[in-house]
Amino acid sequence: MKQLTLLFLTFLLVNYGNSQTLKEYIAASGNKFDQGEWSESLAILNEALLSYPDKISLLFSRGQVLHKLDRWEEAIADFTTGINNFYLEIEMPTAEQKKYVAEYGYYHRGIAKGKLNDYVGSILDYNLAIELNDKHINSYFNRGMMKLNLNQQGSACYDFSIAESLGDKEVGYYIRLYCGN
């Protein structure tokens, strides 16, 4: 997860780093995030968004920090706004980068919805993340867990088996526990 977050912060830095101040905000927030100083990271991102309200992708980073603070409703709001508006950012030059940002948003919004026991909404977001990247191991695993919460054991086991076939080394425990294999 730390590698994914660092990758996303690097993506922001490379693609939105036209201003030294924005680079400083992103670097400072990333440093605080890596040190587990979630509230400080959030404060920096809030300040960055005041200075750069058009940088919709900053919402994805703030949503990630809100996850760490267990502020799920706010995380969902940030991811939803980001998902719905990131296409408006002129500075996002490639379709592949747009796809990555959407996948990231749906995946993390799915986590937040699951934490709020919105299992159906969570599954729908994982479905969207998988549509964008059918090799997204964590989306399959998490979707399987949500399906277990809805007593859809067979479908959950199918998702677990896909995650395992994609290389998830830890899902075997859940397959043995819930799927009888």
The tens place of each residue's pLDDT in the chain, 181 residues long, gives 555 554 455 555 545 444 558 889 999 999 999 999 999 999 999 999 999 988 887 998 999 999 999 999 999 999 999 888 877 665 555 778 778 888 999 999 999 999 999 999 999 999 999 999 999 999 999 999 999 999 999 999 999 999 999 999 999 999 999 998 6
Q: Which residues contact 134 (CB under 8 A, 6 or more apart)?
A: none
Q: State how far the Cα of 61 lies from the Cα of 8, in Å rounded to an integer.
A: 8
Domain-embedded: residue 161:
no
**82 neighbors 56 (Cβ within 8 angstroms):** yes
Name, in order, each residue with C-beta under 8 angstroms of 72's C-beta and a sequence gap of 6 or more: 66, 112, 113, 115, 116
Residue 44 inside a domain? The answer is yes
C-alpha–C-alpha distance, residues 62 and 53, integer Å: 13
pLDDT of residue 100: 84
- Predicted TM-score (pTM) above 0.95: no
54 part of a folded domain: yes
Number of domains the chain contains: 1
Question: Please, are residues 37 and 67 in contact by the beta-carbon 8 Å criterion?
Answer: no
Provide CB contacts within 8 A for 102, sequence distance 6+.
83, 86, 128, 132
Is 53 strand, coil or helix? coil
* Distance from C-alpha of 103 to C-alpha of 97, rounded to nearest angstrom: 10
Does residue 84 form part of some domain? yes
Per the domain annotation, does 155 fall within a domain? no
Task: Find the domain containing 68 and state its range.
Answer: 2-133
In a domain, 62, yes or no: yes
CATH of the domain at 51: 1.25.40.10
